[in-house]
Amino acid sequence: DAGVIQSPRHEVTEMGQEVTLRCKPISGHDYLFWYRQTMMRGLELLIYFNNNVPIDDSGMPEDRFSAKMPNASFSTLKIQPSEPRDSAVYFCASSPTTTGTGELFFGEGSRLTVL
């Protein structure tokens, strides 16, 4: 079975540009999570969905960040406009169980560099 699929794997963009990261969770997983990883702040939970509904977006840093999950097999994380401090690895993860109770399956991540 395919794992969590993220695209693009690498993105280099200039400050002010819009960035869209994509994620396909594992089929049958009701929970989808977006994490950001940086050296300074480690792994931070940005937002998570349950059955395509955003449950907690308190980790989203600013209004420049938005996430959607239009259906059970697709989610996007958008940054508009992007800034150099947004440079990080963004991971999508999915889980069949409620948050905090079971294994998270991570995608390979999208490495974002904002110049």
Partner 1 sequence: GQQVMQIPQYQHVQEGEDFTTYCNSSTTLSNIQWYKQRPGGHPVFLIQLVKSGEVKKQKRLTFQFGEAKKNSSLHITATQTTDVGTYFCAGPDSWGKLQFGAGTQVVVTP
> Whose Cβ is closer to partner 1: residue 8's or residue 16's?
8
- Are 53 and 105 within 8 A, CB to CB? no
- Are 95 and 34 within 8 A, CB to CB? no
Rule CB under 8 A: say whether 25 interacts with partner 1.
no
> Whose Cβ is closer to partner 1: residue 44's or residue 74's?
44
C-alpha distances out from residue 43 to 34, 51, 92, Å: 10, 23, 11
Among 7, 66, 106, 113, binds partner 1 (CB under 8 A): 106
Rule CB under 8 A: say whether 28 interacts with partner 1.
no
